[in-house]
Structure 1
Amino acid sequence: MEIPVSGFMYDSDDFDPMHSHQLLITQWDGRPVPVHVHEFRGVTSFDVGHNHRYIGTTEPAPSGVPHTHRYFTFTSVDDRHRHEIRGVTGPAIPLPNGGHYHEFSGFTTVNGANPHRHGYSGRTSL
């Protein structure tokens, strides 16, 4: 028995020599598979005399199952430079009245005339 499936693939960013990708299924047997995204924003740690702001939207993930989201954005330009922020959120944290959010944290890329990085952390939108 064949079941028609559709979706899209994206680079997994891993270092597997076999060059793998991740698949997000958006339709199964003619029925849509619900996916969703979250917004995220915040301010980095204060280092080398400044901090940066950031804002972005996570990559899509399936709804109704345990999941995480990948995220990527650039910080604001402060002190004449910016940094990249990228990572994977923690698992979904359910809310009592429905919905969920994710926590995220990490460090920016190194950049600036005085090379440095910033820490960041926060929660996604619901």
Structure 2
Amino acid sequence: MHDHEIEQMKWMGRNVHVHQYSTQTSVNDGHSHTVQGTTSPVKNTMGHVHNYEGTTTFDDGHVHRFSGTTGPPIYSADGTHYHMLTGTTTFNDGHTHQYTGWTGKNVSG
């Protein structure tokens, strides 16, 4: 399991909430990649989701692109929340990779 810090950004003078994420892909063609980044911000925090996209780490001589939308918030007893992300990378070098992970928790909505 990966641990992630929450991230608050200022945009046009106001706080927006985003989540960091980092997870490994499946092992295909003898290797895996890391999927990591920061989600897009959201305006509405009740039942919200985040978009995300990026490029995997460079492994075995190539990269893959990934993108998607997180699941809805999963709330913890302490009032924080996190999101699940899952998907398949682009087809590069004759194969794809699958990934599943969770964003870091966010304490403000």
Specify the TM-score bucket, using the shorter chain as the normaliser.
0.7 to 0.9
2:38 aligned to which of 46, 49, 57: 57
1:49-95: CA deviations, max 9, x gaps?
11111210000013541100000111011111000110000000111
What are the ranges of 5 or more consecutive residues in structure 1 without an aligned counterpart?
Answer: 1-25
Cα RMSD for the two superposed structures: 1.6
How many corresponding residue pairs?
Answer: 94
Could you list the per-position Cα deviations for residues 25-68 of structure 1 after superposition, in whole angstroms to 9, with x for gaps in the alignment?
A: x89xxxx5x53100010110000111111210000013541100
Q: Within the alignment, does 1:118 sit opposite 2:97 as a pair?
A: yes
Helix, strand or coil for the counterpart of 2:77? coil
Any idea what SS the aligned residue of 1:56 has?
Answer: strand
* Residue 23 (structure 1) aligns with: none
Which structure: larger Rg? 1
Long gaps (5+) in structure 2: 1-10
Point out which structure has higher relative CO (alpha carbons under 8 A, 6+ apart). 2
1:66 to 47, 70, 88: 47
Q: Which residue of 1 aligns with 2:69?
A: 88
Q: Distance in 2 between matches of 1:48 and 1:77?
A: 14
Q: Is structure 2 residue 74 aligned with structure 1 residue 97?
A: no
Q: Which runs of 4+ in 1 moved over 3 A?
A: none
Overall identity of the aligned pairs, in %: 41
Local SS of the residue matching 1:37: strand
Scaled by the length of structure 1, what TM-score is found? Answer: 0.69
Looking at structure 1, the residues matched to 17 and 44 of structure 2 have their Cα atoms a distance apart, in angstroms, of 6
TM score, norm. by length of structure 2: 0.80
String of CA shifts for 1:69-124, please: whole Å, max 9, x gaps. Answer: 00011101111100011000000011111110000101000001xx1000000000
